[in-house]
Each structure stands twice: as structure tokens, then as C-alpha cells.
Structure 1
């Protein structure tokens, strides 16, 4: 059966997701490999003495015919990046501090280092996330309303589960951990768990006073929640859950009640 044509909001949402930076950004290199980018004005206002105190040097080099900021690679890469994150935090140019490390990878996917999660947007570092689309046997869909004290998209609607892949996670372990923490469900108890696809973002982020840049791949999964089973939040990051029939889901999507990430994932899950 062919899916119905996608509504107009889908194309607009996909265009916003990959619109690129709103202001010029300078490449950030780690040992000569480009791993991210920074707002051209940000580093000019940061006191980097703390990096020198810790024996790490942030320098301007030429990369592909243009200036770039560079940090050393090797054993000191993680320590250097986290020293940079602390400098950004001290200057008020960092996202919410999580005490959670995310992987920093080269263009080929090799892990080069890890860094505090709060610094990834201002440094334009690529991140990875997972989401779970949870349905019932009759086609209704479980969705969550994000807690109103969340730093990003508070109170908006989301998929059953969505979370970041930490440096300690694999995709599978991230799905298992986040599904329990956000929904109180064990993946092993769900039916028909399968990888549904992925969506990608490359767009401005309002973190750190609007100087952030979101580069993210989200792998999404689908599963059926058995009859008699309902999600119960465990970590305080969800205000409530609702089980929506298809018509209610489509109406809520059309009026922009879902996060940008959830909107694109649900569009894909609906066959658009």
C-alpha cells in the first residue's frame, strides 16, 4: 500500500534540518583532522590561559587555504578538549553542563577523543542520538511530553524515547538505557524491535547564546508496546505520556507540537 503524499510541513522541516550555519564558522581541527567548527566571534572573547596552564595549545593554522583552530591529537586530545570546554563554560559560552562524555570522531568515524556534552554544540562537533517509535497493535502511537524544565524544547512532544549516545554506549546499549530511563520499559519486553532508519541535522543551535551548531545523526527504531504495558518515566525528564490514535498524531504534527527531531522521525515512520 502506497503511503499518502507528505503534507507541506514535512518538506519545510527537512529543509530547516539541513540549512547549514547562520553565521560564518571557523573549522576546528584535532591533530590535523577537522572535527567541528566554531562561531568566528566566539574564540576572540575567550581567555585561554587555562589551556596553557594545563600545557595544551590552541593555535590558528591554515587548513585548505583558510584559517582554522587546532588542538593536538593523541593521548592528550581528550584532556585538551575538556580543558577547552571548561574555558567556554567559564566564559558563559557553553551549553548545559552534564558531566557526560560524548565521542569525538574523524570524518571516517574513528574515535579520536571524548568531550563534555555541554560543549558539543558550541564546538560544532558531530553527535549521535537514538529514538524509539512505540506503537500498539491497533496502530496508536505512544508519545511523551518533555519536562518543562528541560534545557531544549521544554514542554514539546517527542517520540516514546529519545536520547544521546554517550561515549560509553553502543547504539544498542543507548537504546536499552534510554528506553528504561525515559519510559521505564525493557527493550526485551517489547515486540518487533527493529531499526527504522536515520535522520540527519546540520543547523544552527541556540545553545551558548546562539553561537552553537547542531550536527547530528539520529538512528531511530520502532517497536510494538504489548497490550497492558504502559511507559512510566524514571529520570524526571518527561512530563507525561499519551497514547495517540493516528488522526490525533497527524493533527499534533501539523500544528508543530513536536520537536524538530521527533517530527522528522515520525514523518519517516509514517512513510513520508
Structure 2
């Protein structure tokens, strides 16, 4: 028997930082997960923990680093990942994933939870580092300009073709950078590109919409090399009101939560370097 690929870390570290400089407070709400890998065979095979940085220490490092400020989550993840690789002799690879929960300002020190979650994933090793930015749970809906017809049919097909349907999804998108950039500006541009493409595309399939959204994100910056999207189709079915003596001219729908179609894909710039990382 041989020990295969392995890693360990601290998942779901909840961190809230309040910056109190000036009359308006700033709120940063994060969930951080760390993953470390390297020369860890001894702890698996013999129980020798000399090379293991405890997961509790990883959690404490996240809080200690936040004392100096968080800034953009890509930069915060880079600081943490490089620290774990550079300071722990047995660790050769570190992955830090951060979810930034969105709060919209109501007043100088009042907030309301906003839409979508900004994400960043950094992988650092002795050879280099990669940054992936993203957004998740960004729920969008078009009430028209969506069709689905001409699809393959077999003996089990019951779905009717349509030239007008509600199209809704909860966007999870991640875009890989080839180098440093203005993370805040890049995220704002990418998010706007996703939303703009969804709204502007007359969709013949959710796959077509996925490609247009990814293509628009790639156009936002030179450092964006690849976009991966996961789009669950949040089905809205027209309710049959005929049993009640009523018509339904595309106005009353049942919003079904499951089962749902799941459309996933990547859009890549030609010639973009591939990091070959399993976590991506």
C-alpha cells in the first residue's frame, strides 16, 4: 500500500472586520478556508506530527493577519497562502479560498445583506501562485427573450418546445488570472459583464447564454484567461388554470426548486497558460 495525494486544513473560518476610521464604518464579512499539502507522509503512516501545522494555528493566523487589515480578498488570500508555504518547512502547497458576503450600506454604520457572494481562491507553491476570482449565488431572471426548441427527442421526451419562457439561474462564475491586477476594478467589471450579457442575450438555450456571459468576462481585462460557469436552470412552469375556467396568458408560474437542469462550461482565451491545478 502507498499513501496517495493528501491535504488538510481549516474550513469555514468566519471572520468579520469593522474598520472604524472616519464617520462611516466599513464592514468586511468573510468565510475563509485553508488547505495545506506537502511532506506529510509521517503523520499518516506513523502518527509523527512534527511536520503538521495545526488547523487551529491556521485559523489563528487568519485572525492575526486581519488585524492589519483585509483589503481585497485576492490580496488577503495571497498573503496567507505565501505565509503558510514560506514559514512551514514541510508545506510546499497552500490553497486559500475566501467567500466575501455582500453587505449594502444603509447608513454610516448600518448595512443590509446584498446579492451574490464574491469569491477568491489562491494556490501558492514553491514554484509560483495562481489567483481565481469569482462570484456565487448571483440570482438573475429574464421574464422573456428565452426560447428552447429544436432539441433531440426520443421515446421518453415529454418536454414541449417553446419560443417564450422565463429563464432564471443562480450564477456561480470563476475567472482565472494570469497575473496581478486591480482586483476590485476587475471584479466590478466581470460582475457587470455577467449581468449585462445575461440581460442582453436573446437566449435559444442556457448553454448559449453561458458562453456569452463567459465571453464578455474575458473581454474585461488582459489578465483574465479562463472563465468557468455553473448555471442551474431555475425552472418556471406555466400553471394550468383551465380546471378553474381560467386562461393563463404567460402570467402565472410554478417556481420549481428541483430537479433542475445544470449547465456548466468554460470559456478560454486562445493560448492562455494552463496551471494544471486539480482544485481549479
What TM-score do you get using the length of structure 2 for normalisation?
0.30
Structure ID, larger Rg: 2
What TM-score do you get using the length of structure 1 for normalisation?
0.31
RCO (CA 8 Å, sep 6+): is it higher in 1 or 2?
1
